[in-house]
């Protein structure tokens, strides 16, 4: 292969364009892989949360029934059920607000890919400037 300084400017420019295209394709592939990995993790976590929620719900219903019947020894059954439901509604509302806050703070953007894509674009701009 001949030295780059001996090659015509048109060939060098064509090579630069081809290498820039390849670089951008690789950057897009990196972004796709990164987003795919984040989505896979999110799906796995969502399934785990779903299974845990079903099990916790069944246990909670049993616990609530036990508490209501235990408290009914001292007060009427209807009042016992009302008081216990108010307590659990309050706890549930607090947990829901915390979960909503946590989800709103979650970052799902492919940060690494965005940064390298910006760097690549800046590099490509610098390479396209005419040599004086």
Residue linked to tokens 């295209």: 21
Q: Which residues contact 25 (CB under 8 A, 6 or more apart)?
A: none
Kindly give the residue spans of alpha helices, DSSP state H, lying in the chain. 9-71, 77-104, 111-128
Residue 44 token pair = 């796995």
Which pLDDT does position 92 carry in this prediction? Answer: 92
Residue recorded with tokens 């048109």: 10
Instruction: Give residue 65's pLDDT.
Output: 93
- The reported pTM is 0.42
Cα gap 112→116, rounded to integer Å: 6
Per-residue pLDDT of the chain (132 residues; tens, 9 = 90+): 555 567 888 888 888 889 889 988 998 998 889 899 889 889 999 999 999 999 999 998 998 899 999 999 999 999 999 999 999 899 999 999 999 998 888 877 777 888 888 888 888 788 777 655
113 contacts 34 by C-beta, under 8 angstroms: yes
- 61-100 burial, b for 16+ CB within 10 Å, e for fewer? eeeeeebbeebeeeeeeeebbeebeeeeeeeeeeeeeeee
């Amino acid at each position: 292969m001949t030295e780059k300084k001996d090659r015509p400017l048109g060939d060098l420019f064509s090579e630069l364009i081809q290498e820039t295209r390849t670089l951008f394709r690789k950057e897009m592939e990196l972004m796709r892989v990164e987003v795919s990995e984040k989505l896979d993790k999110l799906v796995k976590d969502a399934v785990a949360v779903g299974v845990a929620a079903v099990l916790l719900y069944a246990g909670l219903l049993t616990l609530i029934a036990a508490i209501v019947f235990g408290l009914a020894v001292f007060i009427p059954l209807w009042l016992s059920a009302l008081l216990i439901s108010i307590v659990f509604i309050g706890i549930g509302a607090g947990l829901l607000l915390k979960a909503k806050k946590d989800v709103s703070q979650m970052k799902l953007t492919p940060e690494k890919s965005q940064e390298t894509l910006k760097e690549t674009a800046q590099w490509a701009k610098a390479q396209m400037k005419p040599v004086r």
